Amino acid sequence: MSALIEFQNVCFRYTEGRRDILKNLSLSVEAGDFVAVLGHNGSGKSTLAKHINAILLPTEGKVTVAGLDTSVEDNLPAIRRTAGMVFQNPDNQIIATMVEEDVAFALENLGVPHDEMVKRVDEALDSVGMLEFKKYATTKLSGGQKQRIAIAGVTAMRPDIIVFDEPTAMLDPQGREDVINIAKKLNEQGITVIYITHYMEEAAQAKRIVVLNDGEILLDGTPHYVFQNAGLLTSVGLDVPQSTSLMFLLRSHGIKVPLAVLNEEECVSVLSDILTRKNQT
């Protein structure tokens, strides 16, 4: 039995003769994992994401999702149902004018009967905390809220995998936090999450980080392992935020601190907590 997502020696280029965007890349993801894919612009991370549900097909090599080869046309409906995708720009992935209708879009396409559809739309909206906005016009929502609707539109399909392609790049800090928290919650419910991002703070909350550079895997392992190689990350243009690297250093010295520290303020409050505890004992 192979892994849920399997990349076997995948090469990808848009046109023959142009540079390879993915270079002989092999990767396997087990069911239930939460994988963050990090990389600077042009590292091929979005290209990798688009291979998972057959939006792009490998030029060489093979991608299988739940055992289905993405290059076989007949597999497409099953693959798209297994692996949902959330994109960067919330405005460009909302199809309907009303929230509930947009969430129902995938279900309409799949031919889900009406009663079942109503139930699943409510469930999906509830899971992203947007049930009260059911009857709203999608254009009236904030960026973060739109992104949550887009996630609901995907979860309504009940996929096994959700690929997030830089879902927070266009959002404000509050929206970013909401989205990463929803991704974590969905993962706890058993959905395999692939989370493409260039924010270290978000990647730090994953179970596994894959760092891409020029279409190749540079580092692959737990956040702990990856952040230990801060020097290597900096050499490919990825900056580990000081607060994050400090937290990892403290952890590696056996001090219990949370992994995900989003900004300096939070870092300060975590440190002052520890210091007051130290003083008391």
Partner 1 sequence: MIKDITIGQYFPGDSVIHRLDPRVKIVLTLLYIAFLFIIQTAATYVFALAVTVFFVILTKIPLKMYLRGLKPLLFILIFTAFLNVFYSTGEPLFQFWIFTVTLQGIKNAVFMILRIFMLVISTSMLTYTTSPIVLTGGLERLLSPLAKIRLPVHEFSMMMTIALRFIPTLLEETDKIMNAQKARGADFETGGLIKRAKALAPILIPLFISAFRRADDLATAMECRCYTGSGEGRTHYVTYSMSASDYAAIGIMIVIIAVAILLNFVTVMGF
State the minimum distance, in angstroms, from the CB of residue 91 to partner 1: 6
Torsion of CA 195, 196, 199, 205, to 10 degrees: 20
**Alpha carbon 235 to chain centroid distance?**
24
Contact 104, 124 (CB under 8 A): no
113 or 254: CB nearest partner 1:
113
State the minimum distance, in angstroms, from the CB of residue 153 to partner 1: 6
Which class for 214: exposed (0-12), middle (13-18), buried (19 or more C-beta within 10 A)? middle
Contact 212, 40 (CB under 8 A): no
**Bridge-based pairing state of the strands 68-69 and 83-86:** unpaired
State the minimum distance, in angstroms, from the CB of residue 41 to partner 1: 17
Q: Is 119 helix (H, G, I), strand (E, B) or coil?
A: helix
State the minimum distance, in angstroms, from the CB of residue 230 to partner 1: 34
79 or 233: CB nearest partner 1:
79
85 or 261: CB nearest partner 1:
85
**CA dihedral sign of residues 137, 143, 148, 152:** positive
146 or 198: CB nearest partner 1:
146
State the minimum distance, in angstroms, from the CB of residue 117 to partner 1: 6
89 or 245: CB nearest partner 1:
89
- Rounded-to-integer distance, Cα 234 and Cα 217, Å: 15
- Rounded-to-integer distance, Cα 219 and Cα 233, Å: 9
State the minimum distance, in angstroms, from the CB of residue 60 to partner 1: 23
- Binding residues (CB under 8 A) for partner 1: these are 53, 55, 77, 80-81, 84-85, 87, 89, 91-98, 100-101, 104-114, 117-118, 121, 138-139, 150, 153-154, 157
106 or 262: CB nearest partner 1:
106
- Which of 51, 93, 94 has its CA nearest to residue 69? 51
State the minimum distance, in angstroms, from the CB of residue 240 to partner 1: 31
105 or 214: CB nearest partner 1:
105
Kindly state the tokens that stand for 7.
């990349």
